[in-house]
Amino acid sequence: MAGSSMPRTGDHSILTAIGGTPLIRLGGIVPDGAAEVWVKLEGGNPTGSYKDRMALSVIRAALERGDIRQGDTLVEFTGGSTGMSLALVAGVLGLKFTAVFSDAFSHSKQQAMEAFGATVVVEHSDDGLITTALAERMRERAHDLAAQPGHHYVDQFGSPDVPPGYVPMGTEIATSLGGEFDVFCHGVGTGGALMGALDGMRAAGASPQVVALEPTQAPLLSEGRSGAHSVEGIAVFTDPPFLDRSRLDDVRAIDQDRAFDTCRRLACSEGVFAGASTGLNVAAAIELAEQLGSGHRVVTIACDTGLKYLGEQPYV
């Protein structure tokens, strides 16, 4: 009988459930005569988001280098999703995690981080609005906390260990499709997922065309202009920290209303319940598939589960 005194051989922890997510082909939502559309379902990761891959990469690399050790406290400012992933991985690897959060984000995200063992410090917003001034205050508070002995700043927007976390996602896709697909399209926040996945695809012998996506309401990449939008996770930086534009074949802007509508159709007719950035990815993938026509394949990513956004747009 297995018991607590039983020595552990190898890793059988929840961390082994990060990655290895399913890749599905969409059905009736894709018009007849269009190319195949394949979607990597990242909502299957333990916290329901592909950020688990990033958290594992960043924390494991820091432990391996000896930059951090068990009992230390990691600090990051976050709107919640990354915080959940960092809390989960930190807890399993014997570290503590403090999230600098704000009341501008949904309270359920705070509860979820706390459920995974995080200490949550709340920076108060002005009237519940997400502004650059608020983000700056959160960043400063995280830096101040991380300056204490035994504390370390994770740096999700700058750590070189972020893109490598997504390499296996690209490798898994390319291996599942035998390297045979024409286009990979994906929305850009930091650009870490797009670049890391592309590295993985290339390493597995695939060389798709790469299309970066953003909402029409915030055409940062296509027009260098920012704007208010409601697609959480993407279109936040004028110059996304991990994005190498020389590796892109195209940038495409998709109206956020189409992204929300695609989310609803994805859930109702394909059974894929995901967040708005996934709706935007899939709307773009279908558009590209119609242009390419049958005999081709387009791949995109369902970044997270829609269960994270209940009570928020576009599900209210």
Ligand X SMILES: Cc1ncc(COP(=O)(O)O)c(C=O)c1O
CA 184 to chain centre: 16
Tell me, by CB under 6 A, how many residues bind ligand X: 16
Of the candidate spans 36-44, 64-72, 110-118, 230-238, the one that interacts with ligand X by CB under 6 A turns out to be 230-238
Q: How many CB atoms lie within 10 A of CB 303?
A: 29
Sheet holding 119-123, edge to edge: 119-123, 96-102, 73-77, 151-153
Q: Which of 161, 182, 232, 270 touches ligand X (CB under 6 A)?
A: 232
Query: Which of 90, 29, 31, 76 is closest to 302 using CA atoms?
Result: 29
Shortest distance in whole angstroms from residue 160 CB to ligand X: 14
What span, in angstroms and rounded, lies between the C-alpha atoms of 82 and 50? 9
Shortest distance in whole angstroms from residue 215 CB to ligand X: 12
* Interaction between residue 233 and ligand X (CB under 6 A): yes
Query: Which of 22, 272, 61, 31 is closest to 161 using CA atoms?
Result: 61
Q: Which of 89, 113, 285, 303 touches ligand X (CB under 6 A)?
A: 303
- Nearest residue to ligand X on Cβ basis: 233
**Residue positions counted in the chain:** 316
Q: Which of 86, 234, 298, 302 touches ligand X (CB under 6 A)?
A: 234
Tell me which H or E stretch contains 172.
Answer: helix 167-176
Toward ligand X, which CB reaches closer, 34 or 193?
Answer: 193
* Interaction between residue 112 and ligand X (CB under 6 A): no
**Whether 156 contacts 44, CB under 8 Å:** no
Shortest distance in whole angstroms from residue 130 CB to ligand X: 13
Tell me which H or E stretch contains 286.
Answer: helix 276-292
Q: Residues 156-195 vs ligand X: string with x where CB under 6 A? A: -------------------------------xxxxxxxx-
**Within positions 37 to 96, which residues make up the interface with ligand X, using CB under 6 A?**
81
**Whether 265 contacts 306, CB under 8 Å:** no
Toward ligand X, which CB reaches closer, 188 or 286?
Answer: 188
Shortest distance in whole angstroms from residue 80 CB to ligand X: 9
Angle at 262 (CA atoms; ends 256, 264), nearest 5 degrees? 110
Binding interface with ligand X (CB under 6 A): 81, 187-194, 232-234, 275, 277, 303-304
